[in-house]
A and B are shown apart, each in its own frame.
Chain A
């Protein structure tokens, strides 16, 4: 416990570097929808705005990318996600769908300064086929979901990264939640797509008179057999739907088991007698008390 650590540390205050590490860690662990609140808390606790700005501003951008933050952009009726996969550096991100790049303000959460962009030609036909099918899938399963598909090629081949995000923020009811899917399709040089990898994440925070959080994630790996973009797009979405639904069902099943079995075994609703405790009886059985006559 902290008491033990106190004796060891004596009165040595920690270095600025250590403070920045702690503050950065707090910021990166903000629950979905609560970045501003955590940022304000951290700002008051650190009490050093210039240190905060120079040391922790990378945390703001890291957080937004980790969260697959959706942003509305001009020239497209679809939002785009801020991720590590479409990060161009210098605060700029690209959107293959609308063929644009833009500057993203990580604190204001706004896009600006649009420029034109050409998606990677090598992988574009695979990417756009997948994007089309995945967009339909997203609208079919996520009420306010956003999906973004990015294509990149390198020496050994190409990758298509597909991300889906949906969230519900209800701070007035003291809760927030977010779903994140990241899917990666590998297309080796001169060959058809081989492997599909996915990371699925769910986080829910409930905080009325308390702090309750669900943090869950699952890794998925599947093989792909399609040989054409159109075929791959359909196979991809089939795999995604199966995997995501299986994950969601498994979560529901766990909820059932946790409630029926685990929770019940921790504390009964009532004692075996099916009645509340007779405290006078309990107290009279205590050691050290004189026996009372009934």
Chain B
């Protein structure tokens, strides 16, 4: 997104603002004031949208190894974007302990209220809040079940780690986030960590017998090592994918099962893509920057290969014409 790609109406808006700011303040009537306030409000919203686009673009380019610091600096730079940034920029998940239940849970913007976080196990805020945002009673029941279901999912695919599910009400349905964090054991002197953030939006059809599901999934993968041969090597970041589908809702196919299938399929796909990008693509790029074999050798090999291919084709053509 570039500043010089402003649309014509936006340029006009900017010019109108400039005009107004140049005018004297005496002799203006109430209607003109109201008009100006409206225009300033529109301009302000447009500016915020542009800044949000740039902030998100920046977070796609700065080294993901410093996400937390970059996000913090970004919010300091443009405080008006704070809430929007916190809810749209994925950060590596932090773990907290639910002292009442003796179980770990994960922190994100969706279970945060002010400076407190709600545990999915005890359903209370830490530090305690008098008036913290809570899911409705019906939703809390679903949330408890979802946590238990994804606890099993986590165990089957991750064989360890921590998971948490948080739900919140929407007008015609509900939304939720499924979080998983798994840290490696540091064997072979390589530190690894996986974070999953799945945000699902469920629009229930009025009949209650089907629903529309929209899933946005981000998987973060962090790998680092500090061995003498390779110095410091830090390979990290995230990939994001989206999918939408409809499914029938019944006792045999409840929401959790529908969501579970979507999440499982999505995570399996992202896992494969992470494998290709991290250990295939980026490695190929490195080896394209420098060649261990002298390039002259390579060129000779390529030339030889081409000669052989041509000779083979000629022989085939000859064979065909016989």
A residues near B (Cβ < 8 Å) are 1-7, 9, 11, 13-14, 18-19, 22-23, 25-26, 29-31, 34, 37-38, 40-47, 139-143, 145, 166-168, 175, 177-179, 200, 202, 204-207, 209-219, 244-255, 257-259, 261-263, 265-273, 276-277, 279-280, 282-283, 285-289, 292
Other-chain residue from B61, B71, B236 in contact with A207 (beta carbon distance below 8 A): B61
> In the complex, are the beta carbons of B194 and A266 less than 8 A apart?
yes
A119 to B185, CA, bound (A): 54
Q: Kindly list chain A residues whose C-beta atoms are within 8 Å of the C-beta of B236.
A: 212-213
Could you say which residues of chain A place their CB within 8 Å of the CB of B227? 250, 254
Residues of B within 8 A of A280 (CB): 252-253, 257
Complex contact B231–A262 (CB within 8 A): no
A216 vs B234: C-alpha distance in the bound complex, in angstroms? 6
Task: Contact check, B230 vs A254: say whether CB atoms are below 8 A apart.
Answer: yes
- Report the interface size for chain B: residues with CB under 8 A from the other chain: 106
Interfacial chain B residues near A218, Cβ < 8 Å: 230-232
Q: Does B177 contact A (CB under 8 A)?
A: no
Q: How far is the CA of A9 from the CA of B274 in the complex (A)?
A: 38
Stretch in B9-17, B25-33, B291-299, B312-320 touching the partner? B291-299
**Residues of the B chain whose Cβ atoms lie less than 8 Å from the Cβ of A265:** 184-185, 187, 192
Contact with A along B276-290 (1 / 0, CB 8 A): 011101110111111
In the bound assembly, the distance between CA atoms of A4 and B295 in angstroms comes to: 54
Proximity bits, B209-238, A CB within 8 Å = 1, else 0 = 000000000000101010101111111111
Q: How many A-B residue pairs have CB under 8 A?
A: 305
Is B229 in contact with A250, judged by CB distance below 8 angstroms? yes
Asked whether B271 lies within 8 Å of A267 as measured between CB atoms, the reply is yes
Residue of A nearest to B144 (CB): A288
Inside 8 A of A178's CB, which chain B residues have their CB? 289
* Contacting residues, chain B, for A209 (C-beta < 8 A): 239-241
Distance from A210 Cβ to chain B, minimum over Cβ atoms (Å): 4
- A31-B70 Cα distance, complex, nearest whole Å: 14
- Which 6 A-B residue pairs are closest in the complex by CB-CB distance? A218-B231, A250-B229, A212-B237, A250-B230, A210-B239, A279-B257
Task: Determine whether the beta carbon of B182 is less than 8 Å from that of A267.
Answer: yes
Q: How far, in angstroms, from A276 to B187 measured CA to CA in the complex?
A: 28
Contact call A277/B231, Cβ cutoff below 8 A: no
B252-276 CB mask vs A (1 if < 8 Å, else 0) is: 1110110011001101100100110
Beyond the given A1-B107, A29-B63, A206-B277, could you list 6 further A-B residue pairs with CB under 8 A, ordered by the A residue number? A206-B237, A206-B285, A211-B61, A259-B278, A261-B187, A283-B256
A15 to B152, CA, bound (A): 50
| Closest-CB distance, A221 to chain B (whole angstroms) | 12
Contact A258 B190 (CB under 8 A): yes
Q: Give the residue name and chain of the A residue nearest to B60 (CB).
A: A211
15 pairs, A vs B, C-beta closer than 8 Å: A3-B115, A7-B114, A25-B73, A30-B61, A38-B62, A139-B295, A177-B289, A206-B237, A206-B277, A206-B282, A209-B239, A214-B286, A248-B290, A266-B193, A283-B256
Residues of chain A within 8 A (CB-CB) of B50 are 44
Contact B296 A140 (CB under 8 A): yes
Interface residues of B in 133-176 (CB under 8 A from A): 141, 144-145, 148-149, 152-153, 156-159
B74 located at the interface, meaning its Cβ lies under 8 Å from any Cβ of chain A in the complex: yes
Q: A26-B62, A266-B182, A277-B156 are in contact. Are A247 and B254 (CB under 8 A)?
A: no
Q: Is the CB of B289 within 8 A of A279?
A: no
Q: Residue B79 at the A interface, CB < 8 A?
A: yes
> In the complex, which of the residues B2, B62, B275, B286 contacts A259, with contact meaning CB atoms closer than 8 Å?
B275
The residue that B62 contacts in the complex, of A29, A40, A282, with Cβ under 8 A, is A29
Tell whether B244 is near chain A: CB-to-CB under 8 Å. Answer: no
A52–B316 Cα distance when bound, in Å, is: 66
Given the complex, which residues of A lie within 8 Å of B254, measured CB to CB?
Answer: 283
B58 and A26 form a contact (CB under 8 A): yes
Cβ-closest chain A residue relative to B107: A1
